[in-house]
């Protein structure tokens, strides 16, 4: 075995010095969340690394909707899911069509449109929240879940278009030409050649938009107010309205709310790896 040189050891040490704090920084809040969720109410603030009497009682309360704040838990979870999935699908549809038109059909002015859309990111989404509220009011969509869906698609679309456009540019243009000569119409090209080859990027972007909507609080809070319409993230916020917030339940719901994104990420991780285009053209 090769002896490690002093330089490689120092480099390694430096990386560890940065890495370990970052890891702890990330994991401690998650652990805290977990700790709260298995602690009884009275010992939640005991400050121990492991509770004296770990319990699943909190989960029982949450799943059974046995608390005032949790009376619509399942419905709100379903709202979150429905909105997130719809936002993911709609964003994918909009962004894929746009990227195909700009990158493959080379529609005139397409690049300008894309840059204009990206330009909207110069304005923080929080500043746009009030105008968006007003706009949705004008459309009569307030307190309608479509308001949140449309707002989230608006926020997710520019970045999605940009990423998909970059990915499209990497597909060899000769594939399009070959398909055109083989007799494909633009729609057939889109469906039979473009979509299958873009699959990894589509999954990545779909996941991005879905998670963005799942995690959204501000817009959901502004645009929805009815207890039966709101998402779980807004419901979580409502926990803090009272003086004696049930922290252990808040943390339990938070933990449950954090699980689907983690699951989705791990399920689709393999799609985020490229390599599908190998063999299309010369290496």
Judged by CB under 8 A, does residue 66 bind other proteins?
A: no
State the nearest-atom distance from the C-beta of 281 to other proteins, in Å. Answer: 4
State the nearest-atom distance from the C-beta of 172 to other proteins, in Å. Answer: 6
> Do residues 99 and 168 lie in contact, with contact meaning Cβ atoms separated by under 8 Å?
yes
Judged by CB under 8 A, does residue 21 bind other proteins?
A: no
118 to 3, 105, 161, 179: CA distances (angstroms): 50, 20, 9, 31
Q: Please, which of residues 190-249 interact with other proteins by CB under 8 A? A: 192-193, 196-197
197 versus 212: smaller Cβ distance to other proteins: 197
Contact string (CB under 8 A) for other proteins, positions 166-195, x = contact: ------x-xx-xxxxxxxx---x---xx--
184 to 165, 177, 202: CA distances (angstroms): 21, 9, 22
176 to 71, 98, 104, 110, 137: CA distances (angstroms): 54, 17, 8, 18, 44
Judged by CB under 8 A, does residue 281 bind other proteins?
A: yes
State the nearest-atom distance from the C-beta of 276 to other proteins, in Å. Answer: 7
Tell me whether residue 94 is exposed, middle or buried, using C-beta atoms within 10 angstroms of its C-beta: 0 to 12, 13 to 18, 19 or more: middle
6 versus 283: smaller Cβ distance to other proteins: 283
Using CB under 8 A, list all residues that contact other proteins.
172, 174-175, 177-184, 188, 192-193, 196-197, 276-282
């Amino acid at each position: 075995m090769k002896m490690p040189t002093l330089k490689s050891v120092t480099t390694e040490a430096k990386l560890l010095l940065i890495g370990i704090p970052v890891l702890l920084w990330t994991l401690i809040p998650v652990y805290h969340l977990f700790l709260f969720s298995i602690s009884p109410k009275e010992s939640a603030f005991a400050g121990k690394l492991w509770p004296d009497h770990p319990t699943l009682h909190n989960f029982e309360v949450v799943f059974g909707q046995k608390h005032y704040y949790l009376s619509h838990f399942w419905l709100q979870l379903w709202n979150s899911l429905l909105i997130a999935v719809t936002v993911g699908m709609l964003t994918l549809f909009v962004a894929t069509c746009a990227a195909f038109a700009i990158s493959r059909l080379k529609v005139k002015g397409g690049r300008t449109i894309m840059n204009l859309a990206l330009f909207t990111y110069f304005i923080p989404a929080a500043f746009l929240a009030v105008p968006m509220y007003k706009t949705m009011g004008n459309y009569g969509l307030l307190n309608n879940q479509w308001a949140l869906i449309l707002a989230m698609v608006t926020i997710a679309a520019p970045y999605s278009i940009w990423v998909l456009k970059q990915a499209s540019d990497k597909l060899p243009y000769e594939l399009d030409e070959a398909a055109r000569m083989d007799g494909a119409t633009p729609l057939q090209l889109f469906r039979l050649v473009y979509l299958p080859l873009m699959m990894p990027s589509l999954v990545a972007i779909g996941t991005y938009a879905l998670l963005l909507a799942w995690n959204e609080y501000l817009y959901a809070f502004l645009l929805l107010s009815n207890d039966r319409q709101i998402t779980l993230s807004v419901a979580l916020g409502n926990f803090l309205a009272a003086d004696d917030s049930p922290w252990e339940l808040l943390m339990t719901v938070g933990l449950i709310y954090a699980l689907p994104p983690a699951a989705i990420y791990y399920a689709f991780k393999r799609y985020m790896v490229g390599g599908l285009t190998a063999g299309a053209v010369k290496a």
